[in-house]
Amino acid sequence: MSSVPERSDIDEEYKWDLDSIYTSDDEWEAAYEDVAERIPELEAYEGRSTEDPETLLELLETMESVLREVSMVVSYANLRSSEDTRNQEYQAQAGRAEALASKARSAVSYLDPEIQELGREGVEEFVAEEPALEAYQHHFDDVLRTKEHTRSAEVEAVLADLSDVTGSPSDIYSMLANADLEFPTVEKPDGTSVEITQGNFTKLQKHPDRAFRRAVHEEFYDTWKDVRNTVGSSLKNSVKADVKKARIRNYDTARQAALDGPNVPVEVYDNLLETVRDNLEHLHRHAELKRAAIGADELQMWDLYVSLTGGHGPEISYEQAKEYIVEAVAPLGEEYQSRMAEGLETRWVDVYENRGKRAGAFSSGTYDTQPFIMMNYQDDAASMFTLAHELGHSMHSELANDAQPWHDAGYDIFTAEVASTVNETLLTEYLLENVEDDELRMHVLDEYLERFRSTLFRQTMFADFELQIHEIVEADGALTPDRFDQLYGDLKAEYYAPAETDDHIAREWARIPHFYYSYYVYQYATGISAAAAIVERIRDEGESAAAEYRDALALGGSEYPLDVLKTAGVDMTEPEPIEDAMSVYESFLDEAAELMDLE
């Protein structure tokens, strides 16, 4: 019998409150039908959206009204489908919602080309005539700056209408990975058995018994081997879709297209890869500390997640984790702290793993809802840090939604990953300074080092892999499972040079869902770098720096990401934040080596 419970066996207090969106599926259905009937309202403005300032304002206000309703419909459906990916009713509901969103985007796809045709001078004249349009200045600038990459209204309509189709590789992968794949059960050293899942794999790789870790590693990746052709085809077509969409929009590369969305120059990406490669000796030292911790002659791939402390660490209940996290964010101000505490008590979080539940964690929601955090909490330090991470996203949304109108509240991932990692860093510092339990302190230090490794180095390695596979398609080359294995295996060997690579780890690319989100992962690495700099400023300057950070979060999407971070005192166009992050990593490695007597 599986050790993973069914959703019905979990207490309501540990489930998110989706009734706060719609009280029943019937209410969702009514909302779906109502907003579907409103989409023609948007289509009626085509060809005349910029005939005068009043018409443009009327359309923008109508568009907001419709799209806010659409986002509620989509959010509810996606959250329900994440609860149990085996539930065909909710999968169908999510599919209908995404199709509705695609139809709504298609219905206003003419707007950007028509604003661009009006031109910057024309927009300025409209704003002068209708002051209410001034609230959309950033939106207008964002539309006008991408004029050369925007196609005709007809082409834009086709692209919008195809969005749910071009995203199908990701959907296929998600269903395979979360609903259809069944991983084996392995015997633990104490004679009991445990079912490997997407949710518990990393935790099992931290088990102190090395033979058990190897068994989990091999069984897990052997399962992926059985579906490598399917996953390889899915990823190949996802990359091809990225490249084709970029070419349609007159970008030289898919990377340029992806980074132009948040207005981030490709030099930021190149700077990250170069700076991290130049500092791989710190990662190699971390790997050597792991080898020393387990007393092995050679470090193997099934040893990479092992704790420097040599064990799982103390159990941290969900209730205890909440308490620690709330106390840790005190430097961000009483209002921030109390709002987070309230959210934790009002069912923002879907806490525990259940069968069929989507793997991993995320923070979601809309402008008109509370945040919703999906967890697969495992009563350990890693889960506590993940909770802190997702709460950073949720609080970012809360502050931005309070301060900005709907059209300027949504922020880019580039800044989102700063908010989440600031929380992680504050949690680390709080626990190291305030907890007297030496065992817990060692595990906190180890956990932060692991998160640094997995966020700055591992995500940069992912970004390197993502760049390489896109460049192959852009050069009209072929991507196959063998090619994926070769590229990924080479990168793994370079980044983790002290460890022995094997055929199993070369398949790790197959289990990474973020490769389906075009040029997404690099932002985790830039995020942790910016976060380290921001926490250092708060530590040195106190409330003034904290206030600037809160101001940056409250900007939401009203300014471009690099400008938002400058409000918090960080310039990501320079290598210094990444180099400073490396110094933080090095100092924590020094502390770990001394505390645990590993060198």
The pairing of beta strand 193-195 with beta strand 299-300? unpaired
Residue 379, by phi and psi: left (phi above 0), alpha (psi -120 to 50) or beta? Answer: left
Provide DSSP, 103-119: HHHHHTTTHHHHHHHHH
User: CA 240, 483, 461, 271: dihedral to nearest 10 degrees?
Assistant: -60
- Structure tokens of 403? 């301060």
Question: Across the chain, which distance is largest between two alpha carbons, in Å?
Answer: 77
The vertex-432 CA angle with 426 and 434, nearest 5°, equals 95
The pairing of beta strand 185-187 with beta strand 193-195? antiparallel
Amino acid at 86: R
Burial (CB < 10 A; 0-12, 13-18, 19+), residue 342, is exposed
With CA atoms as reference, report the closest residue to 401 among 556, 219, 526: 556
The answer to whether residues 481 and 228 touch, using CB atoms and an 8 Å cutoff, is yes
Q: How far apart are CA 6 and CA 177, in angstroms?
A: 18
The answer to whether residues 84 and 356 touch, using CB atoms and an 8 Å cutoff, is yes
- Structure tokens of 116? 């661009």
Tokens 């106190």 belong to which residue?
542
Cα dihedral 98, 103, 107, 110 sign = positive
Give me the active site residues, please.
390
- List, in order, residues 6 or more apart from 14 with CB less than 8 Å away: 318, 349, 350, 351, 352
472: helix, coil or strand?
A: helix
